[in-house]
Amino acid sequence: MSTLAPFTAHNGFALPAIGLGTYRLNGEAGAAAVAAGIDLGYRLIDTAFNYENEGAVGAGITASGVERSQITVTTKLPGRHHGGDRARTSIEESRFRLGVDATDLHLIHWPNPSHDRYSEAWRALIEAQQRGIVRQIGVSNFLPEHLDRIEADGGVRPVVNQIEVHPYFPQTDAVALHAERGILTVAWSPLGRGRELLAEPVIVEIAAAHTITPAQAVLAWHTARGVVSIPKASSAEHQQANLDAASFALDDAEVEAITALGRADGRLFDGDPATHEEM
């Protein structure tokens, strides 16, 4: 395990630099992958209602044998459940599927602004936290105007905003805004989901200089920027390599060189939270 200090939010809530993403880790194989990751040292496990694997993640946590209090499990409220009563039930169902007394970190998955119920969903998360069935609450894919609104409406600032971040889409302004407000940035698809990125000459060169893999160089870039990353990996080899990346330090010039790979069209798909709807 890395000895890197965890990243801390405005209320003292802390996350390790690297967690385990579980998208498409389902069934018995998914549960085994989660258990193996925890045994290797992962203490942040990320899932979502829409991944349809909360049961597998919960089974993996139980099978690992690691004390439950040492593990932070994140899940997410889907867009179709933003309404108050539906949100309340969805939060409870996630807890039951995971087999936990409380979810450690519960996020709104997407704001879905055209439906305009994300503020209602935020109030449902606040209520669940007050009831003790959710420990910490946050959001995913929120833009600054969405963050402003939920804090104004609910009086509670999220501890996390999980957003798309990778070298082709570095989100410099969002990362800076979150840091200013004490909101942790968590990067989904931190490796860009593609081989093209890992073949970029600047990344290959930096990796070679540190005797690490290009993927590790990208994860070290996230860590240097104060961003938590949650790469998905099913094999023990890849899980270990990703976890080890938190122990590699890049210098400022290397961080800037990787950030310079950013593109205006760098998103992986048409996932602009101002218009994208995911129910």
Query: Active-site residue numbers?
Result: 51
- Tell me whether strands 7-8 and 14-15 are parallel, antiparallel or unpaired: antiparallel
Contacts of 220 (CB under 8 A, 6+ apart): 210, 212, 245, 246, 248, 249, 250
Q: Which of 189, 178, 203, 214 is nearest to 269 (CA)?
A: 189
Token readout for 220 is 């070290």
Q: Which of 164, 149, 227 is nearest to 194 (CA)?
A: 164
Are the C-beta atoms of 6 and 159 separated by less than 8 Å? no
Distance from C-alpha of 7 to C-alpha of 17, rounded to nearest angstrom: 7
Helix (H, G, I), strand (E, B) or coil at 130: helix
Q: Tell me, what amino acid is at 141?
A: N
